[in-house]
Amino acid sequence: MSKKLIELNDISKSFGDLLVLDHFNLYINENEFVTLLGPSGCGKTTLLRLIGGFESPDEGSIIFDGNIINDLEPHERMINTCFQKYALFPHLNVFDNIAFGLKIKKLPKDEIVSRVTQTLKLVKLEGFEERSVSTLSGGQQQRVAIARAIVNRPKVLLLDEPLGALDLKLRQEMQYELKEMQRQLGITFIYVTHDQEEALTMSDTIVIMNEGKILQIGKPEDIYNEPGNQFVANFIGESNILDGIMKEDFLVEINGKPFQCVDQGFSANEQVEVVIRPEDFEFCDPDATHLVGVVDSLLFKGVHYEINVIVEGREYTIHTTKYRAIGDTVGLSVEPQNIHIMRKSKS
């Protein structure tokens, strides 16, 4: 399919005694929206800084468009960054901030003006040319920061938690706009975030990282539906993770009760972990199911209720639009395709 644009081969990086990236391998395709997702301190920002040229790897090579770029200075790379706290130049107005890179390249004046104007239109900030950046709102500063990067027509745009400082509503709007922008411009976006919802909304590919290693790479749907291990299952959305025993192909035993599932290829009686998403539970007649419990708590979350049901001493979290009062006895059912089996993580 698409061409590989960036390859990271066996990258290691430590700060002092702290190993931040541990023999890291990843490739990124042209025109891909890749999200590096992980908790703070997982090495995702360091990875971004390595690609941007602000750090150099201790081991391994970074290949961009077929060339090793380990030792290239940031200004020699066809990569631009949108910084976490925007890093707009406070002494320049909006126009001069955006034109900064073009002026460095000594482009003709009329071309600078037309490209800046065009970019301002793209980020919906027409007429803001003369404004001082300090008078802009967070969302507007964010747009200027993006404009300042994409006006240089980089092959890759690095974004380091760019929406972290915005409020929820604005963040959702910007997620949509960023995705649109990426589609229009045909630039590879490498996006760093710890917000799983953001990652699921925007990405073509999600890279889940923890402690300097990749835990899982895949499309948002695959990562959500088929988490590779307990960490991923917990990190991406809420999950009920249960102990189970694989009786045979397509049959798993949970709490000593058999459940149909769609997984195969496990050895008989293998200990496994079973992931069931809270929204995959349905209420049903208590006589028709193995899962019967009592409603323990109830939270109204807007779109749905979050209900905790105690079944045989274990708590199950359920997201449902149906109301059940605390103390009600309920039956729970799950469709076989919503029962996801994982091998036990070796710890």
Show contacts with another protein in window 205-224 (CB under 8 A). Answer: none
45 touches another protein (CB under 8 A): no
Q: Are strands 270-276 and 314-320 parallel, antiparallel or unpaired?
A: unpaired
CB of 127 to another protein, least distance (A): 23
Stretch touching another protein by CB under 8 A, among 71-79, 118-126, 180-188, 281-289 = 71-79
Q: Which of 311, 231, 226 is closest to 277 using CA atoms?
A: 226
Closest CB to another protein among residues 157, 215: 157
138 touches another protein (CB under 8 A): no
81 touches another protein (CB under 8 A): yes
Binding mask 217-256 for another protein (x = CB under 8 A): ----------------------------------------
How many Å apart are CA 127 and CA 125, to the nearest integer?
6
Instruction: Tell me the residue ranges of DSSP E strands in the chain.
Output: 4-15, 18-29, 33-37, 59-64, 67-68, 79-82, 156-160, 188-193, 205-210, 213-218, 240-248, 251-254, 257-260, 270-276, 281-284, 291-300, 305-311, 314-320, 329-334, 340-343
Closest CB to another protein among residues 74, 258: 74
> Which token pair is 137?
């709102």
> Which token pair is 314?
């274990």
CB of 133 to another protein, least distance (A): 12
CB of 56 to another protein, least distance (A): 14
Stretch touching another protein by CB under 8 A, among 10-18, 75-83, 188-196, 315-323 = 75-83
Q: Among 15, 61, 74, 238, which residue sits at the site for another protein (rule: CB under 8 A)? A: 74
Distances (CA, A) of 303 to 41, 132, 279, 319: 32, 40, 12, 9
Q: Which residue ranges make up the site for another protein (CB under 8 A)?
A: 52-54, 73-75, 79-81, 83-85, 87-91, 100-101, 104-105, 148-149, 152
